[in-house]
Copies of this chain bind each other. A is one copy, B any other.
Amino acid sequence: MEPVNIGLLGLGTVGGGTVTVLTRNAAEIARRAGRGIRIAHAAARQYDPERISGLDSIGRIGDDAFAVVDDPDVAIVVELIGGYSPARELVLRAIANGKHVVTANKALIALHGNEIFAAAQEQGVVVAFEAAVAGGIPIIKALREGLAANHIEWIAGIINGTGNFILTEMRDKGRDFADVLAEAQALGYAEADPTFDVEGIDAAHKLTILGSLAFGIPLQFERTFTEGISRIEAQDVAYAAELGYRIKHLGIARRTPDGIELRVHPTLIPHRRLIANVDGVMNAVLVKGDAVGPTLYYGAGAGALPTASAVVADIVDVVRALTTDPHNRVPHLAFQPTELADTPVLPMADVETAYYLRLTALDRPGVMARIAGILGEEGISIEAIKQKEPAAGETHVPLIMLTHRVREARMDRALTRIGELDAVAGHIMRIRMETLAG
């Protein structure tokens, strides 16, 4: 069979990696796909020809992305520019032109996926986005196809490698957040502006996508709760370890009788859980299905070649789908578009979790009883309390508490009241806890 013609948008990290994988593994990919895959036309504003191996295999390289999208020779457009615009316009135009699309753009899918999938559905084309979540890990395929028999109960994922690298270094070396962040930037693991990574926005994009695939709801990035790791202190990492926990930045999607939780935040998890041992820049997603039980998917969540692995797997999938009946394809959001549910996403105030609390209290009889009393009045049970020894000359001591599960609104009220006590000084640190069992 004739090779399939690809149009490639972007020759940056992932675009370059895609060119490399498609050329280096061309023979093996064709042995699987049954036909060759050829980049007929690529567009990039700028790129470094020295850094991309396989560039000479590309039919034509220009700087006009719209020319690629409009090229009648191109069957599949691969969007690796990133960002919202012009990525959205390019993808919509490719669809309007009847072309299939492969994209690694999590921000685009999380914010404009509903519009894009509706357009694709109408045109009978596929928009594939495996590379948008957790890099090379085939988690979207696992959720949409591999676990199709399951009622998914919850998902918990380490889906931002930068954040996981920082938390791992803080734990292994006892270092502070700012210190490790600076190193991550020097190593190229973190951007000059690290906001998307460390404040959880990137993870929230990915979690939004995972939540829709798991529960059959439209994409709702604006309802995904997002809290970053920049407030986490070295002492919290150390106290968590003493108590048998590790702090991980998790994206959690959970089905409850009242609605769906979509939340990204630092989380204490028991150190014996497999996912607690996923370190450095690696990603992992834990999925609990009612039939299969817990399953975990682990691998590199970013980087040129791992992300290209997912992009090229999507290309092979789309090549196979070229001759299929559009009604029998895997639906974009795992469920048929007519079968999406309007299950509400819960506001954070209604979410129930356990908590780690660290506060600084006057080292005097009765103070702990007062604090425990307020928690009790709000219906919050304490699982463990640890009072540290006061440092020489200090009148205040750190007080660490673990609570049982309680609705966030109650914890907010309790912490406001505790914060007003004269015996409590400064900021109260609160980190949510999950057992990730059952």
Q: Which residues of A contact B (CB under 8 A)?
A: 17, 21-22, 24-25, 28-29, 31-34, 130, 135-138, 141-142, 144-151, 216, 274, 277-278, 284, 289-300, 303, 305-306, 308-313, 316-317, 319-325, 327-331, 334-336, 339
**Given A312-B148, A313-B146, does the pair A305, B293 have CB atoms closer than 8 Å?**
yes
Q: Which of B135, B289, B317, B334 contacts A145 (CB 8 A)?
A: B317
Please measure, in the bound complex, the distance between the C-alpha atom of A308 and the C-alpha atom of B151, giving whole angstroms: 13
**Given A313-B148, A316-B148, does the pair A32, B334 have CB atoms closer than 8 Å?**
yes
Which partner residue on chain B sits nearest A136 by CB separation? B292
Say whether B149 contacts A25, CB under 8 Å: yes
Q: Which of B34, B320, B325 contacts A323 (CB 8 A)?
A: B325
Say whether A291 contacts B308, CB under 8 Å: yes
- The 4 A-B residue pairs with the shortest CB-CB distance, nearest first, are A138-B146, A149-B312, A295-B299, A136-B292
Which partner residue on chain B sits nearest A289 by CB separation? B309
The smallest C-beta distance from A402 to any residue of chain B, in angstroms, reads 24
Please measure, in the bound complex, the distance between the C-alpha atom of A22 and the C-alpha atom of B150, giving whole angstroms: 10
Q: Which of B29, B130, B149 contacts A313 (CB 8 A)?
A: B149
The smallest C-beta distance from A306 to any residue of chain B, in angstroms, reads 5
Which partner residue on chain B sits nearest A283 by CB separation? B295
Please measure, in the bound complex, the distance between the C-alpha atom of A34 and the C-alpha atom of B291, giving whole angstroms: 20
Please measure, in the bound complex, the distance between the C-alpha atom of A151 and the C-alpha atom of B32, giving whole angstroms: 11
Say whether B335 contacts A328, CB under 8 Å: no
Please measure, in the bound complex, the distance between the C-alpha atom of A22 and the C-alpha atom of B274, giving whole angstroms: 30
Please measure, in the bound complex, the distance between the C-alpha atom of A336 and the C-alpha atom of B305, giving whole angstroms: 24
Say whether A34 contacts B305, CB under 8 Å: no
Please measure, in the bound complex, the distance between the C-alpha atom of A310 and the C-alpha atom of B295, giving whole angstroms: 12
Please measure, in the bound complex, the distance between the C-alpha atom of A306 and the C-alpha atom of B142, giving whole angstroms: 14
Say whether A299 contacts B294, CB under 8 Å: yes
Which partner residue on chain B sits nearest A321 by CB separation? B328
How many copies make up the complex? 2
The smallest C-beta distance from A76 to any residue of chain B, in angstroms, reads 14
Q: Which of B145, B148, B311 contacts A29 (CB 8 A)?
A: B148
Please measure, in the bound complex, the distance between the C-alpha atom of A7 and the C-alpha atom of B51, giving whole angstroms: 55
Write 6 A-B pairs (CB below 8 A) sorted by A numbering: A34-B327, A141-B142, A145-B313, A295-B299, A323-B324, A324-B324
Please measure, in the bound complex, the distance between the C-alpha atom of A382 and the C-alpha atom of B18, giving whole angstroms: 42
Please measure, in the bound complex, the distance between the C-alpha atom of A289 and the C-alpha atom of B334, giving whole angstroms: 26
Say whether A320 contacts B329, CB under 8 Å: yes
The smallest C-beta distance from A311 to any residue of chain B, in angstroms, reads 8
Please measure, in the bound complex, the distance between the C-alpha atom of A297 and the C-alpha atom of B139, giving whole angstroms: 10
Residues of B within 8 A of A334 (CB): 32
Which partner residue on chain B sits nearest A330 by CB separation? B320
Say whether B145 contacts A336, CB under 8 Å: no
Residues of B within 8 A of A291 (CB): 17, 21, 25, 136, 305-306, 308-309, 312
Say whether B136 contacts A32, CB under 8 Å: no
Q: Which of B28, B135, B295, B298 contacts A136 (CB 8 A)?
A: B295
Say whether A292 contacts B299, CB under 8 Å: yes
Which partner residue on chain B sits nearest A296 by CB separation? B298
Residues of B within 8 A of A330 (CB): 320
Residues of B within 8 A of A295 (CB): 136-138, 297-300
Say whether B339 contacts A328, CB under 8 Å: no
| Residue of A296, A323, A336 contacting most chain B CB atoms (<10 Å) | A296
Which partner residue on chain B sits nearest A337 by CB separation? B34
**Given A298-B296, A305-B293, A323-B324, does the pair A142, B145 have CB atoms closer than 8 Å?**
no
Say whether A306 contacts B320, CB under 8 Å: no
**Given A274-B278, A324-B323, does the pair A149, B298 have CB atoms closer than 8 Å?**
no
Which partner residue on chain B sits nearest A335 by CB separation? B31
Which partner residue on chain B sits nearest A130 by CB separation? B146
Please measure, in the bound complex, the distance between the C-alpha atom of A229 and the C-alpha atom of B235, giving whole angstroms: 44
Say whether B277 contacts A335, CB under 8 Å: no
Q: Which of B32, B305, B317 contacts A335 (CB 8 A)?
A: B32
